[in-house]
Structure 1
């Protein structure tokens, strides 16, 4: 018989204990008493009170006091085991890092705003971040994070985390305006520059009887530090007589410990972004409301470069054969490649929701996200000639997007006793990807010409779910759920300049059972064991990318299997009257994990998205939050997480077996202290720590503390708020106060200063 590991035994033991303890406990307890699960914060979370999983949250007040917020994703950076891979202010690729998944697995997390899906599930990498920009920080009421795939109400992408953003609607006339500026001095290799930016936003709202509305606008102008650097491996070739003698190169070792030369800084992004948001809500009856949301976001991005190389006359060098210390290095035309990008995205959301508090409630939510314009331009020639135009390429993604529909009902039979609360519903999503690359005679302003390449495809998922939270005894609650998903991939195609080839359609169905048992051992003690199955379907880009060779598609597997996870969690929560202490043990066993890797079992080897046979992740998480600790006005929160994430089987790349899953650090910690000096002045000191992690499946990147590596970090942040009057609040803050230099392949921001003034009427 197959042996069960300790984590599965722990869960089964908890279920068995329920049968033994229930009769005795029920005989002693008052049958009309229902002990609530512990909640510390004064504001109720937006999650279902019967949610069978750990969840953490932060309110708008806490965000305003503790976090230097520019974009909405900043708000969650101090929550346990959550990290946002945000490389610079205005970064469009802000990926969620969870306790079981790294920043290379964007499709293993979900983000919703008022039930509208913001997750970009067109792909599974840093290029497919949630669309945080559709939610201005000023509209946020609170954010809640759910850990693990233990609720049947959410799809298998929830195997990492699910982020629920709740926005608010006005009860009377409101007007808000904020001006913010920020600056960092960034030093690395030959770069020593200030990178600055500013943000302006305004929000108006009111309520007229049954109608309430918000309208907001935001303008962000940000200069990011270099994201990449032009490098070449150390050369052994002697320079020739015609090679340009240059100075200014830097030498160091790459992430794998190999010597290299650093030639200059690239991908220096100046981004100008504008948001417009409209929200309308109407109370059709006292218990039935409708809401409409419109989001518009545009970005105008200009990517520049900086060459460190100088010829004998002091002029910058961008291409050609160069002589560095007597050795030849060949610089391609795209070694220092500038670029431009223009984007316009639209989102529409419509919801209808009942709130009777009786035996039945229901809601319907539908959304449409559309890439109205997505244009990226790059030159074919080298600088400085490319500054004035010339041939190049245009990559287009307009027409890409997704549509969703969610129908859900809550049934509460025996409402007076509260023994059962049943939730069931239907989900539909349709993802459309359309990516094309064309040549152009002028990369700055020319029209598209001949096609270079393209790939496209659709995926569609329909799901049914049911979940019952059964309080079968006063202190016991058993939650059982089931989710069935039917997935369909179709219309896939791949093109080069002359040929278009299609993919066969695929359809598969999956069933995901869930179970959770909670025991209120005492008024201040809660124990819960949860176990669940989750399937994460391959995304459009994972399925339909590749290349065409000799009339066939290669470097691609359209028959990729879905990721399949069994997740378990055992949690103990202790109410400390003015605080909450939580300890969670968790494990995730993933079969057929999707990663880009090289299949070394075939010749020639193939590098593509492939299934890894098995990855096991287990860990322990300790979290605390408390108010008025030691002295009145001092709030403390923090977390400590240890994770052991190991590749157990990978037949296509055996060198990775026994190695750590990429981008999942072994240790993480957060700590936040906020002191309220009266009603007007608050001080916050916060810290974030992340331990050793790897970029590669075989963990050969032995030099993490350099560009291209993925390093440890310990970062201290601070913020001070002062309310001058009821209408005016000023704040100053610093992120990375200790100026820690750290990397997730790209360099993260160094010490960054913030100043903001906000007017609230």
Structure 2
């Protein structure tokens, strides 16, 4: 068992290791990708019966991204919108669902703001990431609220058995951009460790031409991450990990006098957000028998943001989530696995905004708890596989909620598999929607609503996967119906409130391909979406009807060359479909040269064709840009 547990130590570190029987089952081949996010236990992609994409460290090194959005943009079923580059607000739309319908995990820690409901994708540091697992489709029956569209889990860098290995990098380029970082990782037979840190700065571009000043809107962040695990005996392990990020992001803003008409606005000479993102987790795993492994973990995440105008604090919103989890894996036989556990979470918020009415400047409620119990049963019946999951959540605000999912897979041949699934999911209302103080603008008074119901969804999917030693193809069609979508509506003259009104219908198809042939590596993805707000018949905002991505890389001795092409169809920026965002295509080029086994020089030419494009109306994106970096990675 001691040797076998090493096989899955890397992928299991985020959500739980596997017992001896599971490791033996997965050790049959090293050609299949192992994932843990779909069911909270280690499985191959085929066994998960899910639509999954994996981005590993080798691919991250080849892509040389400035932001995590560079890695995710255009992937199957995935599109992102940014209000400008470099640390600006980023929304991720998974299979056409809302931007807060995708759950973000960092090494098993639930991230995101309890006030806005969304995750701060823009602050994730690519230099600290070991791998990313993207699971498309509902996962509330396993993770609870927020996983209507899917789950993205980020794993930070990990150590392996061996002497300490150091990595160092530094680089810079367009827009007065520079970055640097260092890390060390290693381990013994019983202990693994990793520690790294980095810093990134850019002057950026002027994000909005007609708002605020004409200066560039820069971005700076400093990050650190660490991970350690130790086996006291072959069956007892303790672990801990953290990710810390802090920084500052400039934006354009104006000071407007709404008491006169027409409204008078003056640009602020400076405006910026200061942010802090934290993920902490620790716990232990025990293999009680060869057929039962249990894990207990405690974690905390923090999402903090302070807004300054002309260096004066205008408001802040701080979220803290305290969490605990008891996770169990039972191996009941060669073809029968059972997972069960309990999650507890307590959300805390604290905030202040200059927009809030005087004397009404606190949340009506500043904390709430959620307790969830889940179970997943997987059975193999010859060439068929069945999987069912069920979860019950008890929330302090809206009471009990049950979600479930059923999936079936058929291994038609050694290389072909078909799958089908149906699942329900929900999204809990945010603190802003439920409890935020009212505020007034020239367009009326805006209020929260403590009587909101959760948003609900039902999704169905049919998929097929073909895979051999050098190539794979995965394709699926899906449909999602969402009820009780929360929107801000005028309920009386000049009186606006969050209410459950909208229904959405989303249909789509997606395909993903990957291949390795001699010195060539290729991956591609395509997504088609047909989506509408069933109340108005309009398309949902900022979701492209078509999107595609193609990555090609070639190694020539010590040199490597690559290109990424991204195509995005048209979309609409507003709910009324009056503001059309044109489609566009981008080409990014990259190269690297390894002048020793440990030293390499890398360079990218982003937006090589110097395209002018927008992801959100009125927000600029950078033109052609060049970046160069040098890396040392100890073998």
TM-score range normalised by the length of the shorter chain: 0.7 to 0.9
Alpha-carbon distance in 1 for matches of 2:407, 2:84: 40
Structure 1 position 39, deviation (Å): 9.3
Structure 2 gaps, min length 5: 1-23
Q: How does 1:79-478 map to 2 (within 5 A)?
A: 79-88=75-84, 90-91=86-87, 93-101=89-97, 105-124=98-117, 128-130=119-121, 132-133=123-124, 136-150=125-139, 152-167=141-156, 168-171=158-161, 172-183=163-174, 195-207=175-187, 210-230=190-210, 265=213, 268-301=216-249, 332=264, 334-354=266-286, 358-370=290-302, 374-379=305-310, 394-398=314-318, 400-414=319-333, 418-437=334-353, 453-455=361-363, 457-471=366-380, 473-478=381-386
Alpha-carbon distance in 1 for matches of 2:571, 2:192: 48
CA contact (8 A) 2:109 2:279 kept: no
Alpha-carbon distance in 1 for matches of 2:586, 2:240: 40
CA contact (8 A) 1:113 1:165 kept: yes
Alpha-carbon distance in 1 for matches of 2:327, 2:123: 24
Alpha-carbon distance in 2 for matches of 1:150, 1:294: 24
Match of 2:571 in 1: 693
Deviations 1:262-292 (A, max 9, x none): xx65584223221233332222222332122
* SS at structure 1 position matched to 2:582: coil
* SS at structure 1 position matched to 2:432: helix
Match of 2:528 in 1: 642
Structure 1 position 605, deviation (Å): 5.0
CA contact (8 A) 2:89 2:122 kept: no
* SS at structure 1 position matched to 2:147: helix
CA contact (8 A) 1:266 1:337 kept: no
Match of 1:622 in 2: 511
CA contact (8 A) 1:112 1:165 kept: yes
Match of 2:608 in 1: 737
Alpha-carbon distance in 1 for matches of 2:465, 2:151: 20
Larger radius of gyration: 1
Deviations 1:506-565 (A, max 9, x none): 33211112101111111121110000011111111221235268xxx9533221111100
Alpha-carbon distance in 1 for matches of 2:250, 2:25: 57
Alpha-carbon distance in 1 for matches of 2:595, 2:287: 39
Structure 1 position 486, deviation (Å): 1.1
Structure 1 position 619, deviation (Å): 0.8
Match of 2:55 in 1: 58
The answer to whether residue 556 in structure 2 is matched with residue 566 in structure 1 is no
Alpha-carbon distance in 2 for matches of 1:374, 1:279: 26
CA contact (8 A) 1:302 1:339 kept: yes
CA contact (8 A) 2:288 2:294 kept: no
Distance 1:198 1:561, change over 3 A: same
Match of 1:510 in 2: 401
Alpha-carbon distance in 2 for matches of 1:121, 1:534: 18
Alpha-carbon distance in 1 for matches of 2:456, 2:28: 32
Distance 1:280 1:660, change over 3 A: same
Structure 1 length normalisation: TM-score?
A: 0.72
CA contact (8 A) 2:208 2:252 kept: no
Structure 1 position 466, deviation (Å): 0.9
Deviations 1:233-289 (A, max 9, x none): xxxxxxxxxxxxxxxxxxxxxxxxxxxxxxx65584223221233332222222332
Distance 1:547 1:200, change over 3 A: same
Deviations 1:309-349 (A, max 9, x none): xxxxxxxxx999xxxxxxxx978354345224434444321
Alpha-carbon distance in 1 for matches of 2:256, 2:105: 46
Structure 1 position 354, deviation (Å): 4.1
Alpha-carbon distance in 2 for matches of 1:339, 1:573: 49
* SS at structure 2 position matched to 1:698: coil
CA contact (8 A) 1:146 1:161 kept: yes
CA contact (8 A) 2:426 2:454 kept: yes
Distance 1:359 1:40, change over 3 A: closer
**Which of 160-169 and 585-594 deviates more?**
160-169
Match of 1:750 in 2: 623
Alpha-carbon distance in 1 for matches of 2:171, 2:423: 44
CA contact (8 A) 1:124 1:542 kept: no
* SS at structure 1 position matched to 2:100: helix
Alpha-carbon distance in 2 for matches of 1:749, 1:41: 39
CA contact (8 A) 1:459 1:540 kept: no
Structure 1 gaps, min length 5: 1-33, 184-194, 232-263, 308-317, 321-328, 380-388, 440-449, 489-505, 651-656, 705-709
Distance 1:585 1:609, change over 3 A: same
Alpha-carbon distance in 1 for matches of 2:600, 2:113: 35
CA contact (8 A) 2:360 2:438 kept: no
Q: How does 1:36-51 map to 2 (within 5 A)?
A: 43-47=33-37, 48-49=42-43, 50-51=47-48
CA contact (8 A) 1:301 1:341 kept: yes
Structure 1 position 625, deviation (Å): 1.0
Q: Which runs of 4+ in 1 moved over 6 A?
A: 34-40
Alpha-carbon distance in 1 for matches of 2:502, 2:276: 40
Alpha-carbon distance in 2 for matches of 1:129, 1:357: 40
Distance 1:206 1:64, change over 3 A: same
CA contact (8 A) 1:459 1:539 kept: no
- May I ask how many residue pairs the two structures share in their alignment? 591
* SS at structure 2 position matched to 1:107: coil
Alpha-carbon distance in 2 for matches of 1:725, 1:36: 35
Match of 1:721 in 2: 592
Match of 2:436 in 1: 545
Alpha-carbon distance in 2 for matches of 1:517, 1:181: 49
CA contact (8 A) 1:150 1:530 kept: no
Alpha-carbon distance in 2 for matches of 1:723, 1:753: 19
Structure 1 position 210, deviation (Å): 3.2
Structure 1 position 70, deviation (Å): 2.8
Match of 1:313 in 2: none
Distance 1:292 1:570, change over 3 A: same
Alpha-carbon distance in 1 for matches of 2:262, 2:74: 45
Of Structure 1 and Structure 2, the greater strand share is in: 2
CA contact (8 A) 2:140 2:404 kept: no
Match of 2:500 in 1: 611
CA contact (8 A) 2:69 2:121 kept: no
Match of 2:416 in 1: 525
Alpha-carbon distance in 2 for matches of 1:624, 1:222: 34
Match of 2:387 in 1: 479
Alpha-carbon distance in 1 for matches of 2:172, 2:220: 14
